[in-house]
Structure formats: structure tokens, C-alpha cells
Amino acid sequence: MPPVRGLLLNDDLCRTVQCDGTSVTNCIERAGGKRPGCMAHARRRFVEAARGGDTLALEGLRLIAPLFQVEHASTLAGDTSEQRLARRIEHSKPITDTLRVWLDEQRGIIPPKTPLGRALGYLHRQWQRLTLFLQDGNIELTNNRRERELRRLVLGRKNWLFTWLDEGAERTATILSIIGTCIAHDVNPRAYLHLVTKLIVQGWPHSKLRDLLPDRLLAAHPGLYVGDRCALPESTGLAALGP
């Protein structure tokens, strides 16, 4: 069986991949790529410490909360990735600077094996990954959406037992990845698969297979879009088409 990294990303590992924190994807960083961390995971550890009665953990939650407020404001404003990055540099960077100072102060006095100590240790170890969102507006503050997508695989795991060995499992993973990409871009999966099948049957050139990916095909076939057209920027060319 080929290595996991070959199945996931072929030989092109020097890229940014937002995913869950499994050690399987450490190969991305070893190859020079980036694997952003999840601020929701970091926050969750402080929540657990606070529920255990540690009032100092509430200060950590207070410092982290504005980061989510900045992201919410960006979503409401319909920011592009460039606008989102500029907003983060202006508003989120000072927040992380303050959080870092507090983190360094508390790590020197909080025992590492306490709930709060473990929360501080996780935040410290993952800091470089957790702050990658300040370098790229396409990187999300959390990987919550990715974990929601993985939940579909877990719910259907009994079905995946009958995918015909490794080759069938790879085909199933490919299909589910394509459908997941459709959902992420508000593309109608059924209409997309119908159109792609039709184009391939009609002789679509093998050298241009990437142009059949959901986000690229959407630009040429706006009828595939099933999201809120009013929320789209005019640069996509779809908002002007109306409902």
C-alpha cells in the first residue's frame, strides 16, 4: 500500500493544509508546508480548567474571546481573504501579542500538570500553528468546519467496510472529497456530478482535469451555485445573476 502522504497529497506536500491535529499530517510540516492550528481546541482547554474551579482560566478565555469577535465581524462584512488578513493585522495581532505576554507570565508560576497548566502548555506548544492565521487570510481561526466534515466519515464508517479493499477505499475517499468541496463552495453536488460526467464523456482533455474541480467549474457554470447570491462579492460574477 502506498504511504498515507502519497494518498492524500501526492508528492506536493509544501502547501498549507487545514485539518485536524492528527500526527499523520506531520509530513506536511517536514516537507516545508504549513498545518494551521485550531484556536477552538486551545480555548476548550481553558474552558475545562474553568469548569474545574480555576478562576484564572477565565482570564485566558477573556483574552481569547476577541479573536472570535474579529472573525465574526469579518464574516458579516463579507471580507475577501486580503481584507480579512488586513483586519486581522489591525485587530487580531494586538490581541495575540497580549495573549502571548500573559501566557509567558502564567507558565512560570502555574504547575504544568494542573488543568490550567495543561491548557497553557498546549497554547505554548501550538503557538506557531495557532498564529498562522495572521499570515494568510484564507486560513481559518479554527478547524471546526473540517471536523464537521470528518463526522460524515465516522457516521458512515460501517458502509466504508464494503468499498472493495484499498482501491475501493481510495475511490470512496476521492468521491467524498469532491462532494465535500462542492458543499464548501455552495455547489449543488448532484448537478455538479451530472455536469462533470457529461463533460468527461464528451471528451474533456485529460490535461485540464483540474478545471473540473467544483470551484473552477462554478465560475463557468454559475447555475450550479445554491448559496446566498446576495452574500457573494461582485467579482465572482454570480451575484449579478439574481436568484
Q: Where are the domains of the chain?
A: 39-134, 156-241
pLDDT for 31: 83
DSSP 90: I
pLDDT score for 241: 42
Please compute the mean of the pLDDT values over residues 132-153 and round it to a whole number: 88
pLDDT at 173 over 70: yes
Q: Is the model's pTM score more than 0.95? A: no
pLDDT value of position 150 = 75
Neighbours of 159 (CB within 10 A): 10
Which cell is 147 given? Answer: 471536523
What was the pLDDT predicted at 5?
45
Segment 125-137 mean pLDDT: 96
- Whole-number mean pLDDT of the chain? 86
- When pLDDT is averaged across residues 138-147 and rounded to a whole number, the result is 90
Select the more confidently predicted residue: 19 or 177.
177
Give the percent of the chain with pLDDT over 70: 88
- In this predicted structure, the answer to whether residue 151 has a pLDDT above a threshold of 80 is no
C-alpha grid cell, residue 136: 494568510
Taking CA atoms, 236 is separated from 117, 138, 151, 226, in Å, by 47, 17, 30, 14
DSSP three-state, residue 163: coil
How many CA atoms, within 13 angstroms, populate the side-chain half-sphere of residue 201?
A: 6
Contact 123, 106 (CB under 8 A): no
Of residues 18 and 71, more confidently modeled: 71
Asked if residue 91 lies in contact with residue 2, where contact means CB atoms within 8 angstroms, the answer is no
Collapsed DSSP state (helix, strand, coil) of residue 82: helix
**pLDDT higher at 111 or 154:** 111
Q: How far apart are CA 243 and CA 231, in angstroms?
A: 12
Beta carbons of 213 and 187 less than 8 angstroms apart: no
Which amino acid belongs to residue 103?
A: L
62-114 pLDDT, tens digit per residue, is: 999 999 999 999 999 999 999 999 999 999 999 999 999 999 999 999 999 99
